[in-house]
Amino acid sequence: MSKSQKKSEVDSKIMEIKRQQTLVLIKPDGVQRGLIGDVIGRFEKAGLKLVGMKMISPSKEILEKHYTNDVAYLTALGEKAKAGMEKSGLSDSRTPIQIGQWIRNQLGRYLAISPVVAMVWQGTHAIGNVRQLVGSTNPISADVGSIRGDLTIDTIEMANLEGRSVRNLIHASSEPEEAKREIALWFTKSEIYDYENVMDKVLHDAEWDSPKKK
């Protein structure tokens, strides 16, 4: 590979990382509790750029596509949930896919009870950075300083005992393919804004402090 090919490969990788996008939903508990401003403020303060936002009462169709019926997805969801249950001393004889299906049904009900705020956030490693700011799935184990650690006290244990979804305020995409799929599900292309702001220079412009500019 020539030097210029290598450089253009590195440049496109850099652009891909800097312009990564992720889908965030403020779930009904966050909307009802008046936490929209706080949640948005945390992402803004971290340096992420808001490129799409709307309030929406999600239809059954959108929720069924968002939390898919895909066997691999349901199995992974069920396995993660089962591991979490075992860690907190709860046993469950159901298979991972049965647990995944059970959680999916609960999520369908929970996200339909009142409007949600859907957003697309962009910036360096947006997916990982947003997940870090959101905190882990079970609020009781979420880091202090994270949205789930600071703003709610529900637990997976209580949710499972009561047979409902854990009210953990936020959904955030967990990997690039998922983010692309979810953004395309919740937003049309014209609802996503490509605009410049001061962060592009201060956080992302490698030339900002270049001696050539002086």
**Site of interaction with ligand GDP (CB under 6 A):** 77, 80-81, 84, 103, 106-107, 137, 156, 159-160, 165-166, 168, 171, 174
C-alpha dist (Å) from residue 189 to 52, 125, 172, 183: 10, 21, 19, 9
Which entry of 66, 125, 171, 204 is annotated as an active-site residue?
171
Residue 119 vs 166, nearer CB to ligand GDP: 166
Quote the least distance from Cβ 175 to ligand GDP, whole Å.
10
Q: Which is nearer to ligand GDP, 22 or 122 (CB)?
A: 22
Whole-angstrom Cα distance, residue 47 to residue 208?
16
**First-last CA distance in the chain:** 34
Question: Residue with the closest Cβ to ligand GDP?
Answer: 81
Is residue 125 annotated as a catalytic residue, yes or no? no
Question: Which lies closer to ligand GDP via its Cβ, residue 177 or residue 207?
Answer: 177
In angstroms, give the least distance from the CB of 32 to ligand GDP: 15
> For the purposes of burial, counting CB atoms within 10 Å of the CB of 97, is it exposed (0-12), middle (13-18) or buried (19 or more)?
middle
Q: Is 181 helix (H, G, I), strand (E, B) or coil?
A: helix
Give the H/E segment covering residue 119.
strand 116-122
CB of 196 to ligand GDP, least distance (A): 31
Closer of 77 and 116 to ligand GDP (Cβ): 77
Sheet of 49-56, strand order? 49-56, 116-122, 21-26, 170-172
Question: Catalytic residue numbers?
Answer: 171
